[in-house]
Amino acid sequence: MFCYQCQETAGNKGCTLKGVCGKDFTTANLMDLLIFNLKGIAIITTAARKAGVALDYRTADKTIMESLFATITNANFDYSSIAKRVTHTFNLKRQLREEALSLGVALPDNEAVTMQGTPEEYDQLALGVGVLREQNEDARSLKELTIYGLKGLAAYAEHADRLGYNDDEINAFTERALCDVTMGLLSVEELTALVLETGAFGVKVMALLDKANTETYGHPEITEVNIGVGTRPGILISGHDLKDMEMLLEQTEGTGVDVYTHGEMLPANYYPKFKKYKHFVGNYGNAWWQQREEFETFNGPILFTTNCIVPPKANASYKDRVFTTNSTGYPGFKYIEGDEQGNKDFSEVIALAKTCQPPTEIEHGTIVGGFAHHQVLSIADKVVEAVKSGAIRKFVVMSGCDGRQSGRSYFTDFAKALPQDTVILTSGCAKYRYNKLPLGNIGGIPRVLDAGQCNDSYSLAVIALKLKEVMGLDDINKLPIVYNIAWYEQKAVIVLLGLLSLGVKNIHLGPTLPAFLSPNVAKVLVDNFGIAGIGTVEEDIQNLIA
Ligand code: FSO
Ligand code: SF4
């Protein structure tokens, strides 16, 4: 195996024996084979689209998005679940290839298109199709940067699709990009352009998901979220999928079982449609990496709708209480399948909850969130006034991911050290590093404004573009906004590429720069976009604020 897609990769170089995330050698290799098959499918659909012939694009699109998502860090650790996807992609590829050829589509002679195999051969076949297959370090870096961006894009596309929102332009681009990185025809300049185009489609997919979420569940509102517990048994729902959230709330109503969010599901508390459920108690715990402790004390069942899963300890008491769905999986956790329409039956989860103790309180009080674009723009006058009067000197975007590395305490220290006339704009699970600090407010505007999930970084872009317009500026970089972003996995990669595609410069990225950036590619990002790593808190406050 060779995997260097996330921030925790071994030695900041690459995982080769086992993932730091817990992914084992054979499952990691099998994911390489899955990606290789997706590339093959993408080459076929891209050629067929170009030739204007009708194939079953819907199945191809869905397969590509869901399988890309399944390979995101901490989404799926289950060899058998990935093997099933490999089998499906071999079959689909064969079928699409035959159909395309019979319709007269000229297909390139590429191994990704032609390779077939049986389950007994998968492990062997996987050895030849991994990341190191591309031998040029810079091309590999740009290709993988594109693929990791596409993985993040695919996750957001899957959530939107589950709410009935799908954009063929995004599907076609994803396939063309997979095709381009496989055919080996692009120069470093062309690959760099592809990376930025991926970012532009990242913005599109985040806009699509924003539309899907807000049209279905209303615009997020400023909300005080309870972080304490009730007296009844509960179900803890984690991940990003609001459709699952809706189904769970509906099915638990009147059952005597409460619902709590964990990690990235916290922003579900901000949506009007979910607030009407009296048994939706609040948020329990913190970011994903604290789950080993927090799932113990929660006492009830846990439902993962997306990453991030941490492999439980051998003696974890909650092991038999965890359920996964969508693209996620873990050996031994129960998987909940949806029907054709995506409807799911959570009765087993609810029945189990009824036999469990109520959650043990680990915190109490409230935290405030819900500062997505609609809400913030409704108080735009107040915000602009505060900027003009100097009451707010700078906004600091601190979006992204949290993680378990000790160096991430930097982000808490940085938040604490920011001057009183600065406001943090956040989204994603990075917020847990400072959203419970008593940072106060500026004229009633809290000093931490949480827009929502990592995909709601889109909201921050909308807010920035609106401020630019209201303040009559000609460049997004002239706004009093600076960026100090934390990354962990591939959804943060698409958010970052999205910001670059919008022309945002001088982004600080930590806690470490991605291992998949070769020295030359890193130099391109530094020279053209002013991307920088983080330094000490004092240096960075000096650089970004003073
Ligand atoms: Fe966090 Fe995990 Fe949303 Fe990521 S929960 S780390 S960027 O999956 O997706 O922010
Ligand atoms: Fe290593 Fe991250 Fe890949 Fe897991 S996802 S194998 S930790 S690089």
For ligand 1, pick from 489, 490, 493 the residue to mutate: most ligand atoms within 8 Å of CB: 489
**CA 193 / ligand 1 centre spacing (Å):** 26
Cβ-based burial of 381 (10 A; exposed 0-12, middle 13-18, buried ≥19): exposed
Ligand closest to 148 (CA) is 2
Residue 546 has pLDDT above 90, yes or no: no
Over residues 254-304, the pLDDT tens digits come to 999 999 999 999 999 999 999 999 999 999 999 999 999 999 999 999 999
Closest C-alpha to 19, from 34, 32, 5: 5
Over residues 347-392, the pLDDT tens digits come to 999 999 999 999 999 999 999 999 999 999 998 889 999 999 999 9
For ligand 2, pick from 3, 132, 148, 517 the residue to mutate: most ligand atoms within 8 Å of CB: 3
Instruction: Give the strand pairing for 223-226 and 366-369.
Output: antiparallel
Ligand closest to 487 (CA) is 1
Residue 528: how many CB atoms within 10 A of its CB? 12
Could you tell me if the ipTM is greater than 0.90?
Answer: yes
Over residues 186-235, the pLDDT tens digits come to 899 999 999 999 999 999 999 999 999 999 999 999 999 999 999 999 99
Give the three-state DSSP class for 377.
helix
Residue 85 to residue 63: CA distance in whole angstroms: 8
For ligand 1, pick from 426, 429, 458 the residue to mutate: most ligand atoms within 8 Å of CB: 429
Residue 420 to residue 277: CA distance in whole angstroms: 37
Mean pLDDT calculated for residue range 171-175: 98
Cβ-based burial of 109 (10 A; exposed 0-12, middle 13-18, buried ≥19): exposed
Residue 67 in tokens: 């399988």
Considering Cα of 429, then 430, then 436, then 442, what sign does the dihedral take? negative
**CA 254 / ligand 1 centre spacing (Å):** 31
User: Can you give the pLDDT at residue 108?
Assistant: 95
User: Can you give the pLDDT at residue 184?
Assistant: 75
Mean pLDDT calculated for residue range 397-404: 97
Q: Bridge partners of 336?
A: 325
Per the document, the length of the chain is 546
Nearest CA to ligand 2 atom 6: 19
User: Can you give the pLDDT at residue 185?
Assistant: 75
Closest C-alpha to 217, from 372, 323, 378, 75: 372
- Tokens 């449609």 identify what position? 273
Q: Please identify, by atom number, the ligand 2 atom nearest to the C-alpha of residue 9.
A: 8
Q: Which residues neighbour 349 within 8 Å (Cβ) at sequence distance 6 or greater?
A: 235, 248, 301, 303, 323, 336
Closest C-alpha to 454, from 255, 276, 202, 113: 202
Amino acid in the structure at residue 186? L
